Chain A
């Protein structure tokens, strides 16, 4: 995590 976008939220 950190740099890479991780859109797991709403």
Chain B
């Protein structure tokens, strides 16, 4: 494991921890998109189904369990514990527009026509668009809690760092993963606007407000 991948996984973990702490501390899930969290839960469940038959390492297994359980815990916090704080009226992105194209892409572009490979490909495409409801919600409200902004930033950094990881692995191991590489490029592009505003506002101590 190289440094890019390790830091990527850490920032991915950090993003989830930030989100859980925010919801618990403020006893509110205001500003957090339930739809995005639901899509991530779907991403993890469809991708990590291999936990039962494909052992990689203790690290890998531990992280898979962490991502699945922590995301389902967020769904629980939003749906049960702090339900009144979440306003579905501003979380209006149609998730069919992400799920359907991901399913089509998974059927066309995959590593083989087995249930496992199709689900894996589906999860990769789905992940590339899963942040859209959250970004859409941010655009509707125009501003966000600092922690929500840090959450999205940490998530963007995670995806960005996987790109140098794949370049590094291509150079040192000759390993190629075109599906994940392409999906990650798309995903990082979706964050570019957000990164720009984060840099120009949040980095200078200002409130996150859209122009």
Contacts and interface: CB of A to CB of B under 8 A. Distances in A.
Give the dominant DSSP class at A's interface. Answer: loop
Given A6-B175, A7-B120, 18 more contacts: A1-B174, A1-B175, A2-B175, A2-B176, A4-B111, A5-B111, A5-B117, A5-B120, A6-B177, A7-B50, A7-B54, A8-B60, A9-B162, A9-B180, A10-B9, A10-B12, A10-B60, A10-B63
A10 B50 CA distance: 11
- The 10 tightest CB contacts between A and B, nearest first, are A5-B111, A1-B175, A8-B56, A10-B63, A2-B176, A1-B174, A10-B9, A7-B120, A1-B173, A5-B117
B174 A2 contact: yes
Contacts of B111: 4-5
B34 interface: no
A5 to B, nearest CB: 3
Interface residues on B, range: 20 to 34
6 contacts: A6-B177, A7-B50, A8-B56, A9-B5, A9-B180, A10-B64
Contacts of B47: 7
Contacts, number: 31
Contacts of A5: 111-112, 117, 120
Nearest to A9: B5
Contacts of A6: 175, 177
Contact of A10 (B67, B174, B175): B67
